[in-house]
Amino acid sequence: MDATVAVIGYVRFPADRLAEVRPHLKKLVEATRAHDGCISYDAGEDPFDPGLIHFSELWPDAQSLARHGQAAHIEPWRAATRACGLIERKFTAFDLSGARSI
């Protein structure tokens, strides 16, 4: 399946709260990979900037991404991020429909 939407983003937490965030992040990633129709959904802690978690996502279409945003596991993740002291959140979606491989 070809991706037509890519999402790149990050969330930032106080570095001392990452141990609290990790179990929620694991649930989010596992549920998204299993249920949301994504092609690729990855998250990782930045080794040089404690507290920063990067996301990269590939979706077959904008509708799949929109459904992901409404999925049952998203609100518990959002509530957990607030409870864990979320400092910053930024995500950008890119239309790949006219992209070519390099």
Q: What is the pLDDT of residue 98?
A: 78
Q: What is the pLDDT of residue 27?
A: 97
Whole-model pTM? 0.92
Q: Which residues of the chain have pLDDT under 50?
A: none
Nearest to 36 by CA among 11, 63, 55: 63
Domains detected in the chain: 5-95 (3.30.70.100)
The answer to whether residues 12 and 87 touch, using CB atoms and an 8 Å cutoff, is: yes
pLDDT single digits (tens) 72-93: 999 999 999 999 999 999 999 9
Spell out the residues 6+ positions from residue 27 whose beta carbon is closer than 8 angstroms to its own.
73, 76, 77
